Amino acid sequence: MSTHHSHADHHTHDPAAGTRWSDHAERVLRDAGLRTGGGRAAVIGVLAGEGCMLAAQDIVDRLRTQGGPGANLATVYRTLDTLRALDLVHRLDPGDGTARFERAQPDGEHHHHVLYADGAIEPFHDDELEQAIHTLAGRLGIELVGHDVVLHAVPKG
Amino acid sequence: MSTHHSHADHHTHDPAAGTRWSDHAERVLRDAGLRTGGGRAAVIGVLAGEGCMLAAQDIVDRLRTQGGPGANLATVYRTLDTLRALDLVHRLDPGDGTARFERAQPDGEHHHHVLYADGAIEPFHDDELEQAIHTLAGRLGIELVGHDVVLHAVPKG
DNA sequence: TTGTCTGCAAATTCTTTGCAACGTT
DNA sequence: AACGTTGCAAAGAATTTGCAGACAA
């Protein structure tokens, strides 16, 4: 919780992005002939409210804490599967054996993650890194459809 | 299998790197007061021979195929744990629910991966990407101890 | 001998699936 | 009414752990 906002953390809390995504997601689901409402809407609500590194169990927990309509763990997994098939969420495996999920913005806006040794996670976005990766893709002669970057770090001593 | 060797794939098959690593690994183990020989040596042998994205079960399978001394799956997991604690192997989670392991060179030499939609995996190394990541770490004000990059791609159409 | 390592089987943890009941259109 | 969706419980898959016997130093 630093008092200054660096370029690096402007993705951490962006309510507008959540709302935008949630609207988008519900539209895509309806267009696909699927139904919103019930557990699926609840999961979308959680993902919209907090877009970073949520485990399936985390989603169940937030719903329970919020007191509103909940969702069974199986439903959460099924919903995440559905959303992933529609490119509405990304799956990430930070290496602890538990998959994490976060919303995927329709405009391709995204972030990467710093994993600290103490377990803390910090999202970041960096245009120069994105640039470097796209240049690299050209150099490798591949057609890029996505990319993940994880930085492992220790608190600066 | 292209007929030309690009900068990108020179890490794929490097017998010298395997030998170097295997010697290094056994020395580190001995220095740590641990014993080599038995299943542990077998696992090291497989990792030395093929340094890219091996699942625990893959290691058991290669050993069985090779006909020599084998290793139980539990032993493989325990050995990988031990080697990881000594920074002799890296763990990667490509996102299919199964962890993969590869040797970590003592000199920090490493590679990243391209995951194709059809399941193929291609290792690559790129100095400019490494440069960009180190610059980025400075910009973020973090002390980097490692990093993973995964590119998702489709065969160039 | 002495303490470590290994195999086997049981236990855990995360994720998926079958099925009957429920809710939406 | 028709069909997608959900919860619950059971099934699966990957990884970990307890323990007794095998092995290295």
What is the reported pTM?
0.89
Distance of residue A64 Cα from the nearest chain B Cα, in angstroms:
26
Handedness of CA B50, B55, B56, B60 (dihedral sign): negative
Asked if A93's CB is within 8 angstroms of B95's CB, the reply is: yes
Nucleotides of C under 7 A from a protein CB: 4-10, 13-18, 23-25
Per-residue pLDDT tens over the stretch B19-75: 899 999 999 999 999 998 889 999 999 999 998 999 999 999 999 999 899 999 999
Neighbours of B76 (CB within 10 A): 25
Question: A71 in the Ramachandran plot: left (φ > 0), alpha (ψ -120 to 50) or beta?
Answer: beta
Neighbours of B69 (CB within 10 A): 12
**What's the CA dihedral at B153, B107, B36, B83 to 10 degrees?**
-50
Q: What is the mean pLDDT of residues A89-117?
A: 95
**Beta-strand pair B100-103/B112-116:** unpaired
Tell me the pLDDT band of A105, cut-offs 50, 70 and 90: very high
Q: Tell me if A113 sits within 8 A of A150, measured CB to CB.
A: yes
Distance of residue B83 Cα from the nearest chain A Cα, in angstroms:
16
Q: Scanning every residue of chain A, which has its alpha carbon at the shortest distance from the alpha carbon of B90?
A: A95
The CATH number of the domain holding residue B19 is 1.10.10.10
Neighbours of B79 (CB within 10 A): 25
Q: How many domains does chain B have?
A: 1
Query: Which residues of chain A make contact with B152, given a CB cutoff of 8 A?
Result: 144-148
Neighbours of A35 (CB within 10 A): 9
Q: CA–CA separation, B120 vs B126, rounded Å?
A: 19
* Residue A53 structural domain: 2-153
Contacts of B141 (CB under 8 A, 6+ apart): A6, A156
Per-residue pLDDT tens over the stretch A9-23: 444 567 788 888 999
**Beta-strand pair A143-154/A54-55:** unpaired
